[in-house]
Amino acid sequence: MKNWRSYQSKTSQENKNSSIANDEVALLAERLEFFIPKLMEIMKPWQWLLVIFFWSLFLAIVDRHSVVNETQFAIKMTARFIQTTLTLLPSFYLIDYLRPVFKRMRTLKVSLYVLFIITISAIITLILVLLLMINTGAFTFTLTAFISTVIFNTLIIAGFTITGLLIFLRRYREMTALKQSFEKKLAAQNDVLKARLAPHFFFNTINTLMSLIETNPSRAADLLQHVSVLFRASFNGAREISFAEEVALCEHYLAIEAIRLADKLVVSWQLPDENIMYDMVITALSLQSVIEKMLLNVVERSTETVYIDIHVTWLQHRVAITINVQLPKNSLMIHHDLRQHMDFHIQAQRLQAYFGQSADIQSRVTSKQIMTTIDYPLQDVSL
């Protein structure tokens, strides 16, 4: 039997890593937590050692004019390899260890600390390597040569460190700009949805309320409660909610419209088990907005009863929501116009923003029905 975990557990602050949604916003936020990446996670230690080896070999070849034989060449390359390894790897581990402290500092201050750590590490390791070379006779000691070698190599390390910090900062700013653009796009899409929902729905609901206040005050109070829940969700913005919450929002919406449409609408649901559905997630009002468009373009334009069947499955890490609308037999609707109205581009973009580019909403209009499918990936962590 599956060991289901609740939606709240999967999306709580303490369990962010166990989220079942491929949430692009969360992934981007993780990358933007600090402008310096986790250096020891960029490559494994043996990969760093391989890079350092070839870098040391390159420098030794460039500096070949200062050596007289192959033995001195090998000694010089080995010294550079040891010095660079002892400089970079401990420094990278220390920088990664201090990330929680650095994240609370300003970028310039962090950069100075990183530069200081790597530079001091370079000076210490270079002095140790030179002392070892002096003791083995591989380096002829003179104070001038010793100091100039330390200063020259330190400046090289500091220069490469500053270059790396500038590259990281540039990428960080590019990703920040991408995140801001991403958020603006989501906000614009949400504003479009709210603007589309508000006018016709608001005025229709007001008219219904006015007629109910005198004839059926208790039902008017129920209607107000449904409206309150739906509008609160609408103005909370684009966000990820449990599928159970989305179904509840759809039921609030249908309860409002049922009062106005009377017997013209029959909706049947085929949902997974409650514990399965509670683990599913979706962007808020995605299903509701699809149902709303069906009501606007089919039910309100018909004098007959319209049947809507909603079937939800979650298999092989994908959610498929099928909405079938049976078109009235004696309908004056033009199928070409219906195809134009069954455009869910904005809703599909909102799904793709949270669940990846494979998420989509497709609709097919025939002479008898409208078949719309909402399909998006959702990792089932219980499998």
**What pLDDT, on the 0 to 100 scale, is given for residue 95?**
92
The values of phi and psi at residue 316, to 5°, are: 50, 45
User: 115: burial class by Cβ within 10 Å (0-12, 13-18, 19+)?
Assistant: middle
pLDDT reported for residue 243: 92
pLDDT digits (tens, 9 = 90+) for 130-154: 888 888 877 778 888 888 888 988 8
**Structural tokens at position 355:** 């669940």
Find all residues with CB under 8 Å of 346, minimum gap 6, and list them: 189, 192, 193
- Angstrom distance (rounded) from CA 269 to CA 248: 12
pLDDT in tens, 173-217: 887 777 777 666 666 556 555 545 556 667 677 777 777 777 878
The CA distances from residue 284 to 109, 230, 297, 326, in Å, are 41, 11, 22, 26
Angstrom CA distances, 22 to 220, 318, 342, stand at 41, 11, 27
> For the chain, where are the alpha helices, taking DSSP H only?
7-11, 24-31, 39-42, 45-62, 70-97, 99-102, 107-136, 143-215, 217-234, 243-261, 274-279, 286-294, 335-341, 345-355
> What pLDDT is recorded for position 333?
57
pLDDT tens string 38-85: 888 888 889 999 998 998 888 778 777 666 678 878 888 888 898 889
Please compute the mean of the pLDDT values over residues 369-381 and round it to a whole number: 87
Least confident of 73-77, 109-113, 149-153, 312-316: 73-77
| Tokens coding 103 | 């994240």
Residue 19 near residue 26, CB atoms below 8 Å: yes
pLDDT number for residue 32: 65
Give the lowest-confidence range in 15-19, 80-84, 261-265: 15-19
Q: Is 118:155 a contact under the CB 8 Å cutoff? A: no
Quick one: average pLDDT of 274-281?
A: 85
Facing residues of 281 across strands? 242
- Label residue 263 by pLDDT band (50, 70, 90): confident
CA torsion sign for 374, 305, 222, 197 is positive
